[in-house]
Chains A and B, each alone.
Chain A
């Protein structure tokens, strides 16, 4: 902990102290709940709650974190996830040559064939190999895939992406880009440089792309992916063509509510990024009404798929 931190944190805590806050507490004093009495052991049935919602997972991977697609399906069955939008991006820090991304896309096709009722395949590419990427997009769309997943080879705002974004506009399909909002990553407050993936797209990069291409659809990946989700959501308030997905290993309380407050319910998408328990827990624990949860879990992404005619019935 730095000296500066102690000083500043101490000041803030002084303001936030709640020594006299009990006066404002609103719990009924007459409640004689005895936690150990059998009559008071009625519980919340989370598995029953799960059944209320059809689910499209807007952010999932095959042959990456879970091994083969059987593992994805096992967790999807456990948590009653109906459909998973799956991709295999160029996660490794390699050159990302065409033979690599073609091989990854072929893995996704293989998974789609194994579970045609469960997987919606997304293709990946590398804008550094622009022509090959455009050719690969055509091949993958012809194979029934829907939507582009890209990683940290280039920022989403890089001119190398322009023809690819234009192609995705023509296809009426979403561009799902890995994202982060972390100190010292991708250009955000680089005095704290972590050395992690310098071409990571940050909120400002999405805004640049969204302004240049207002007719394109961008998916800011995993606001639960560990970054500053408040910063990201506040950044996108004026940009209706940027969606956020709720996936990621982090499940901060209030994150989903905050995203909906800032962006409106239709721009928030349910996703796992293969972090299955958290993906469902953070939504069910939110304060969203059932109608809004249905949109986040299913309807919002299906509306995106519908634009290219590849929606779920």
Chain B
């Protein structure tokens, strides 16, 4: 069993993506043995009215009965845009979305904006996960039209510390932190917060240089297979798990990472 908690369909305006439809992604999943993938529509990052992107995803998922079995859709919600509460309700109740992904960097709000806190609180109350992505692409390859958070400058990309403020405000929500990039260092107090939060990191991000060290630091229950496909190659996130040695993670732990932790948070 293999569950990918970090996949997308849709278009990235700055570079052509491959297999970025449900059918294309499914063919890729079949090639590499993935059973289920959590997907969102990339277009939601760019549309001002993000709900149209959620509707697009829902429409594409209806095109084939197989898609409903293999994809778990997450809605993209912008809590500072008109009608977002209706968007959330519609996405969950009518479109079949099972969680939400938020993009403060792209939708231009602070992670502790009262509207974001309210949204995360609502997600908590409905028992659905909230996902934040540290970055969509490496800023070194960014387009001149992309956001201007650039590593090595006074306005850097996000790291884990940028996500902690919302966790502190709504500590009992369920979180996914995707594409783990940049400095993973935390104070002991911050690490303790992460450890006691119901939170999953996916395994796609570049910061995970030695998987075993990250398992030791954060705990086996904090990681789940993720690809960040179709932005990143499909296999690196899997290699981080499957190349673990027996002494680092026995078969039960590897299964936990491949699908068990994801299944638990997704309520499958």
A positions within 8 Å CB-CB of B? 1-2, 4-6, 8-10, 12-13, 16-19, 21-27, 29, 31-36, 40-44, 46-47, 75, 78-79, 180, 182-183, 189, 192, 194-196, 225-230, 249-255, 275-278, 280-282, 284-286
- Residue from the set B32, B208, B243 with the largest chain A CB neighbour count within 10 Å: B243
A228 to B140, CA, bound (A): 7
Assess the A253–B144 pair: CB atoms within 8 A.
no
Q: Which stretch in B122-130, B164-172, B228-236 binds the other chain?
A: B228-236
Assess the A47–B141 pair: CB atoms within 8 A.
no
Assess the A46–B232 pair: CB atoms within 8 A.
no
Say whether, besides A13-B43, A226-B141, A252-B233, A195 and B153 are in contact (CB < 8 Å): yes
Assess the A5–B145 pair: CB atoms within 8 A.
yes
Assess the A285–B235 pair: CB atoms within 8 A.
yes
Which residue in chain B gives the minimum CB-CB distance to A8? B145
Q: Which stretch in B19-27, B78-86, B88-96, B111-119 binds the other chain?
A: B19-27
Assess the A46–B66 pair: CB atoms within 8 A.
no
Which residues from chain A contact B139 at a C-beta distance below 8 Å?
Answer: 226
For A281, give its contact among B46, B69, B230, B233 (CB under 8 Å): B233
Q: Can you report 25 A-B residue pairs in the complex whose CB atoms are below 8 A from each other?
A: A10-B46, A18-B9, A18-B56, A23-B63, A27-B26, A32-B66, A41-B35, A44-B32, A47-B242, A79-B243, A182-B140, A183-B142, A183-B144, A192-B144, A226-B140, A227-B140, A227-B141, A252-B141, A252-B231, A253-B231, A255-B233, A275-B206, A276-B209, A277-B243, A285-B32
Q: Could you tell me the distance in whole angstroms from the C-beta of A256 to the nearest C-beta in chain B? A: 8
Say whether, besides A249-B206, A251-B233, A278-B236, A16 and B13 are in contact (CB < 8 Å): yes
Which residues from chain A contact B265 at a C-beta distance below 8 Å?
Answer: none
Which residues from chain A contact B2 at a C-beta distance below 8 Å?
Answer: 43
Which residues from chain A contact B69 at a C-beta distance below 8 Å?
Answer: 33-35
Assess the A180–B140 pair: CB atoms within 8 A.
yes
Additional pairs, 13, CB under 8 Å, beyond known A44-B32, A182-B141, A254-B17? A5-B146, A8-B145, A9-B46, A12-B11, A22-B63, A33-B66, A36-B35, A75-B210, A225-B140, A229-B141, A252-B137, A275-B206, A285-B235
B positions within 8 Å CB-CB of A? 1-2, 9-11, 13, 15, 17-19, 21-23, 26-27, 31-33, 35-36, 43, 46-48, 56, 59-60, 62-67, 69-70, 106, 108, 137-142, 144-148, 150-153, 206, 208-211, 229-240, 242-243, 245, 268
Q: Could you tell me the distance in whole angstroms from the C-beta of B57 to the nearest C-beta in chain A? A: 10
- Residue from the set A10, A18, A75, A195 with the largest chain B CB neighbour count within 10 Å: A18
Q: Could you tell me the distance in whole angstroms from the C-beta of B178 to the nearest C-beta in chain A? A: 15
Assess the A284–B13 pair: CB atoms within 8 A.
no
Q: Could you tell me the distance in whole angstroms from the C-beta of B148 to the nearest C-beta in chain A? A: 8
For A250, give its contact among B15, B26, B206 (CB under 8 Å): B206
A16 to B13, CA, bound (A): 8
Which residues from chain B contact A22 at a C-beta distance below 8 Å?
Answer: 22, 59-60, 62-64
Cβ-Cβ contact count across A and B, 8 Å cutoff: 188
Which residue in chain A gives the minimum CB-CB distance to B230? A253
Assess the B152–A194 pair: CB atoms within 8 A.
yes
A254 to B21, CA, bound (A): 16
A281 to B32, CA, bound (A): 12
Which residues from chain B contact A12 at a C-beta distance below 8 Å?
Answer: 11, 13
Q: Could you tell me the distance in whole angstroms from the C-beta of B213 to the nearest C-beta in chain A? A: 11
A27 to B68, CA, bound (A): 13
Q: Could you tell me the distance in whole angstroms from the C-beta of A16 to the nearest C-beta in chain B? A: 4
Which residues from chain B contact A255 at a C-beta distance below 8 Å?
Answer: 233
Q: Could you tell me the distance in whole angstroms from the C-beta of A279 to the nearest C-beta in chain B? A: 9
A182 to B153, CA, bound (A): 13
- Residue from the set B26, B31, B236 with the largest chain A CB neighbour count within 10 Å: B236
A253 to B137, CA, bound (A): 11
Assess the A18–B11 pair: CB atoms within 8 A.
yes
A22 to B243, CA, bound (A): 37
For A41, give its contact among B1, B56, B238 (CB under 8 Å): B1
A278 to B238, CA, bound (A): 10
